[in-house]
Amino acid sequence: MTQQMITSVAPAIRPMTSVPSDPGMMDLASLARRALAESRSFYRHEEYDPRYAYELFRRALVERDDTAWGYIFEQYAPLVEHWVRRTGAFAVSGESSDFFVSAAFTRFWRAIPAARFASFPSLASLLNYLRRCATCVVIDSARSQSYTEMLPEECVNWNDQRLGHADEEATEQVSREEFWGLVDGLLTSDAERVVIRSSYLLGMKPSDIYARWGTMFHGVEEVYTIKRTVLTRLRKSPELRGLY
């Protein structure tokens, strides 16, 4: 076989291109692919390097790079949707999960200008804050629903507060089931359970509750009284405050 024939049948050999180990030196597309690969390693409980995702966030939030932001949205939207659906108020919010995912990312973007990025020293702190944003937009939307009457006031008013770094690091969201488990533990009688669950899970008015379970109450006024008494107790509950 001649040298010419060998050349013609041999596969083309492309020059080796080394990918920089420093995330700051990588082109955006390569950085996004590496960040996604590292995230998959994390979910498989394997060793992972968070520097690549952190750099992707830096380019999006400090350099305000729209393409970097698009990569972040694509990679983390499923995770944000998971947080949204686990938020206790989601079921009564009247909105879709897609609506809240977009709202959470918008809130996150606006809350972290370039000058504030340094206050988030790690990927974990950024994701904790994104998680908090997901929770807040659901709570804010549900404020118009009577469900949120049960939440301590400081939880309902998250949207009006400046959140400190300690809050961002310590954020821990509870599921709807956990929330109701705690509420049930704070109720002291079957009558209270009927009033609260009928009001906030079934959307029933006091008159409807009395019409259905009249034998449990002396009158519709008692339903109103029980509801007011329980709401006062729940709003003052340190256990509920500790969830948020």
Lowest mean pLDDT among 48-52, 209-213, 232-236: 232-236
Give the pLDDT score at 106.
93
pLDDT, position 159 = 38
Q: Kindly state whether residue 16 falls inside one of the protein's structural domains.
A: no
Q: What is the DSSP string of 108-147?
A: HHHH--GGGGGG--SHHHHHHHHHHHHHHHHHHHHTTSGG
Distance CA 127, CA 44 (A): 18
- The whole-number pLDDT of residue 26 equals 95
Domain edge (last residue) among 113, 146, 173: 173
- Look at residue 16 in the predicted model and tell me its pLDDT: 33
- Tokens 């939880």 identify what position? 155
Please report whether residue 7 resides in a domain: no
Q: What percent of the chain has pLDDT over 70?
A: 73
Closest of 150, 167, 169, 166 to residue 244, by C-alpha: 167
CATH assignment of the domain containing 207: 1.10.10
167 pLDDT more than 60:
no
Q: Is residue 65 part of a domain?
A: yes
Residue 168 sits in the same domain as residue 216: no
Average pLDDT over all residues of the chain: 78
Total structural domains within the chain? 2
In the structure encoding, which two tokens stand for residue 108, read together? Answer: 């996150």
Question: pTM for this structure?
Answer: 0.56
* 150-154, 217-221, 223-227: least confidently modelled range: 150-154
Cα separation, 12 vs 15, whole angstroms:
10
